[in-house]
Amino acid sequence: MMMLVNCSGCRTPLQLPPGARSIRCAVCHAVTHVADPRSMPLPPSTSFSAATPPPPSPYGAPWGPPPSPHGKKKAVICGISYRHSRHELKGCINDAKCMRYLLINRFHFPESSIIMLTEEETDPYKIPTKHNLRMALYWLVQGCQPGDSLVFHYSGHGSQQRNYNGDEVDGFDETLCPLDFETQGMIVDDEINAAIVRPLLRGVKLHAFIDACHSGTVLDLPFLCRMKRSGEYGWEDHRPRSGVWKGTNGGEAISFSGCDDDQTSADTSALSRITSTGAMTFCFIQAIERGQGATYGSILNSMRSTIRNTGDAMGGGPVTTLLTMLLTGGSAGGGLSQEPQLTACEPFDVYTKPFSL
């Protein structure tokens, strides 16, 4: 059985193989030595009833002091182009670079607090493989304290697979596709939720921006904002009937995603007119730059309006030459028909809650 140890360098939780006496961290590269692996505690259980409060987090006390105005800002940005494969995308690394620029220059994230995972990175531990992406997500939440602001941005392929444990309303798990997904497998929404949602303490906030197909509920957050074209909205309850807890440990988690669970997301040059981008990432950054980022509702409406107007202008025909290959067979006809989604750990008024990172 795998056991957890904290990295001696950055305190990232690491899975120690049975019988191993040391392990190298993929994030900081430190080697952690263990005297006797059999003495290590078992990993904490992550399944419990939503009817009762979650047990104490292994990452810290759930109800700490009020948030500090001087918390850390940390981000993981992942852009995957799947170069030289039949799944190749054109705009995902552009998305990653643009998001990094936005976080540093608009939201004042320190450059040193951003981990970039793309195929262009020279550090082998920052290539967007399944293992490296998992380690980066552990790093993102490790040691989080009240006042911290965390960001996870992903631009790449997403997919779905049949759910068998009853915790999905539609019967499917949503997934992210790391660079080596064809050999190592996809990362399922249950794992993403366990890695970066449930550890969040009171006063810690996480924003995720997922530009991928089938990404509506890929963080498995309990509530989805169902918004009409008129701007009217209501929160759908996506808490699983199985009773498995999908919320945080007192913190706040909010996700913008490129499309609904049954939709595909475009990788296209139709929006920028210059280079390929993910439609969702482009529209989010544009909303911020145009001064439409005051509230979550204004951002979501701006993103949807831009995509809808682009699709209407195309008339459904020229987009065929603009979309690159979509992993799960999304249609290239009909314009940009995707609808960005907003999910959260708790419902809130999207038109009064200020957006801030």
pLDDT (tens digit, 9 = 90+) per residue, 254-284?
999 988 666 665 555 444 444 666 788 989 9
Res 320: pLDDT: 27
| Residue span of the structural domain in which 29 resides | 1-43
Domain co-membership, 35 together with 98: no
Which neighbouring-strand residues pair with 24? Answer: 31
Q: Which residue in the list 157, 207, 214, 238 is annotated as catalytic?
A: 157
- Show the beta-strand stretches assigned E in 86-204: 114-117, 149-155, 158-162, 172-176, 187-188
Is 157 one of the catalytic residues?
A: yes
Greater pLDDT, 307 or 241: 307
Per-residue pLDDT of 322-337, as tens digits, reads 233 233 333 333 345 6
Give the tokens for residue 202.
């009171």
Give the DSSP H/E element, type plus range, for residue 225.
Answer: strand 223-227
337 found inside a domain: yes
Domain co-membership, 128 together with 210: yes
Q: Which residue in the list 7, 78, 98, 213 is annotated as catalytic?
A: 213
CATH code: domain of residue 302? 3.40.50.12660
Residue 236 vs residues 56, 206, 221, 222, 343: alpha-carbon distances, Å: 28, 20, 11, 8, 9
Give the tokens for residue 46.
């992550």
pTM to 2 decimal places: 0.74
Average the pLDDT over 29-42 and give the result: 58
Instruction: Tell me the average pLDDT of the chain.
Output: 77
Domain co-membership, 80 together with 32: no
- pLDDT above 50: residue 204: yes
Average the pLDDT over 178-194 and give the result: 93
65 found inside a domain: no
Domain co-membership, 147 together with 11: no
Residues 6 or more apart in contact with residue 326 via CB below 8 angstroms: 157, 213, 264, 265, 267, 332
What's the total number of domains in the chain? 2
Domain co-membership, 93 together with 218: yes
Between the ranges 51-55, 81-85, 259-263, 312-316, where is the mean pLDDT highest? 81-85
356 found inside a domain: no
Res 164: pLDDT: 55
Res 315: pLDDT: 45
Is 108 one of the catalytic residues?
A: no
316 found inside a domain: yes
Distance between CA atoms of residues 309 and 6, nearest Å:
49
